[in-house]
């Protein structure tokens, strides 16, 4: 019997997360900022804010560090545009630093009705 593809992915992600959990180093946000903004240009798709851009919204970060690291290593298991970063090109420590930095970014999501300019546009649609 063929299992749905999503089930394969879910199993892989959970296994990856379990394996990775034992190996996840502690991250340092200040180092992560340089890696995110300048060295690897994660900001290219996810914005300097982690909220803007063509890539997935990273803030608020909903993955655990282990889950995040597993995803970055194997993004092709999901239908996103995220390219894979192996440990060869992005060591675990750096990935942990990036995770710590993303977690430190402010989650300043507002509702449109709370922003006067957008609320005005919103009212014109109703």
Partner 1 sequence: MASSSKKTNSVGRRGFLRGAAAGAAALAAKPPEAANAQPPQQNVIANATATTPTQAALNVDVGNGRPIPGINGIALSPGSDYMVDVLKQFDFEYVVANPGTSFAGLHESLINYNNNTNPEFLTACHEESAVSMAHGYAKIEGKPMLVLLHADVGIQHASMAIFNAYADRVPIYMIAGNWGHAVQAHNAQDMALMIRDMIKWDDEPRSLAGFADAAQKAYTIAMMPPMGPTLLVVDEDLQEMTNKEVNLRVPKFKPIQPPSGDLGSVREAAKLLVNAENPVIITGRSARTANGMTLLVELAELLQAPVSGGDRMNFPLTHPLSGLGIPGAQADVTLALEVNNAPLSRNGGRTINISSTILSVKNNYQDVGDRYAAADIDMAADAEATLPALIEECRKLVTSDRKRAFEERGKKLAEAHRQAKLKDIELAAIGWDASPVSLNRLYGELWPFIKNEDWSMVSWDGFMGGWPRRLWACDKHYHYIGAQGAGGMGYGAGAAVGAALANKKHGRISINVQTDGDLNYAPAVLWTAAHHKAPLLTIMHNNRAYHQEVMRLQRQATSMNRGADRIHIGTKLWNPEIDYASIAKGYGMYAEGPISDPKDLAAAYKRGIERVKNGEPALIDVVTQPR
For partner 1, the closer of residues 6 and 122 by Cβ is 122
Candidate list 25, 31, 53, 74; residue touching partner 1; CB under 8 A: 53
Quick check: 111 binds partner 1 (CB under 8 A)? Answer: yes
SS3 at position 29: helix
Site for partner 1 in 21-50 (CB under 8 A): 38-41, 43-45, 47-49
Distance (Å, whole) CA 67 – CA 59:
15
CB-hemisphere CA count at 13 Å for 12? 14
CB-hemisphere CA count at 13 Å for 27? 27
Query: Total residues at the site for partner 1 (CB under 8 A)?
Result: 37
Q: How many CB atoms lie within 10 A of CB 102?
A: 22
Kindly state the smallest distance separating residue 58's Cβ from partner 1, in Å. 11
Kindly state the smallest distance separating residue 9's Cβ from partner 1, in Å. 20
């Amino acid at each position: 019997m063929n299992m749905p593809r999503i089930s394969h992915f879910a199993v892989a992600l959970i296994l990856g997360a379990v394996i990775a959990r034992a190996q996840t180093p502690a991250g340092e946000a200040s180092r992560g900022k340089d890696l995110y903004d300048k060295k690897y240009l994660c900001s290219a798709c996810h914005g300097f804010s982690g909220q803007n851009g063509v890539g997935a919204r990273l803030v608020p970060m909903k993955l655990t560090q282990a889950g995040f690291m597993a995803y970055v290593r194997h993004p092709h298991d999901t239908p996103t545009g995220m390219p894979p970063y192996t440990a060869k090109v992005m060591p675990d420590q750096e990935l942990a630093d990036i995770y710590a930095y993303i977690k430190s970014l402010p989650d300043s999501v507002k509702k449109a009705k709370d922003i006067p300019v957008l609320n005005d546009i919103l009212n014109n649609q109703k």
